[in-house]
């Protein structure tokens, strides 16, 4: 893997964090794109106009990218857009089918939340996102991480749930764990 900004590790899951213009290799991006397509996940997570590999690379390079692994195996990835340190970020995620039911997506989500909200780092106060209303599994996963549904809307193609995790809620989660 290309050199990265940070590695965060739990007992079973590692996330590698790359900042916007860091040298993320084409082979890593290509393997994420190909696997997302092969597993039929692209339309679930890239519903807002990312139709080609070039679109995907542009999104990845304009984002904070967190690649989640267990050992050498890539389980999924989280990309963060609209990042304003000490204020907010928008988070998106895709976990491959082999990670489903393993607890890895939850571990990676907690690592990403801790990373984004750490006052010594980005210090984000609010993390928000959009999830297809029809993607009940993803919606349940973010609710378990402490996100709340704050609204619903139609974007012209899809019915979406708006979710949010505020600093107050993320602090409470840390105190409970």
Closest CA to 146 of 176, 116, 115: 176
Answer CATH for 6-176 from 3.30.465.10, 3.40.50.2300, 3.90.1150.10, 3.40.630.30: 3.40.630.30
Q: How confident is the model at residue 14 (pLDDT cuts 50, 70, 90)?
A: low
The pLDDT of residue 27: 76
Three-state secondary structure call for residue 29: helix
User: CA distances (Å), 84 to each of 7, 20, 90, 100, in order?
Assistant: 21, 13, 10, 31
Backbone angles phi, psi at 127, to 5 degrees: -115, 125
The pLDDT of residue 2: 41
Give residue limits of the domains in the chain. 6-176
0.95 exceeded by the pTM?
A: no
Backbone angles phi, psi at 100, to 5 degrees: -65, 130
The pLDDT of residue 6: 53
The pLDDT of residue 90: 93
pLDDT tens digit sequence for 77-125: 888 888 899 999 999 999 999 988 888 888 888 888 888 899 988 899 9
Angle between helices 26-38 and 53-61 (to 10 degrees): 130
Kindly report the average pLDDT of the chain as a whole number.
81
The pLDDT of residue 108: 84
Three-state secondary structure call for residue 43: helix
């Amino acid at each position: 893997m290309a050199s990265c900004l940070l590695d965060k590790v739990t007992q079973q899951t590692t996330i590698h964090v790359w900042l916007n213009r860091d040298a993320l290799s084409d082979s890593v991006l290509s393997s994420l794109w190909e696997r997302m397509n092969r597993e039929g996940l692209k339309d679930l997570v890239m519903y807002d106009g990312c139709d080609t590999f070039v679109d995907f690379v542009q999104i990845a390079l304009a984002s904070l990218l967190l690649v989640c692994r267990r050992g050498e195996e890539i389980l999924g990835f989280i990309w963060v857009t609209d990042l304003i340190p000490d204020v907010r970020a928008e988070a998106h995620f895709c976990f491959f089918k082999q990670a489903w039911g393993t607890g890895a997506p939850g571990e990676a989500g907690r690592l990403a939340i801790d990373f984004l909200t750490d006052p010594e780092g980005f210090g984000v106060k609010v993390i928000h996102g959009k999830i297809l209303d029809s993607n009940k599994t993803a919606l349940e996963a973010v609710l378990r991480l402490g996100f709340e549904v704050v609204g619903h809307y139609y974007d012209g193609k899809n019915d979406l749930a708006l979710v949010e995790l505020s600093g107050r809620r993320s602090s409470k989660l840390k105190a409970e764990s």
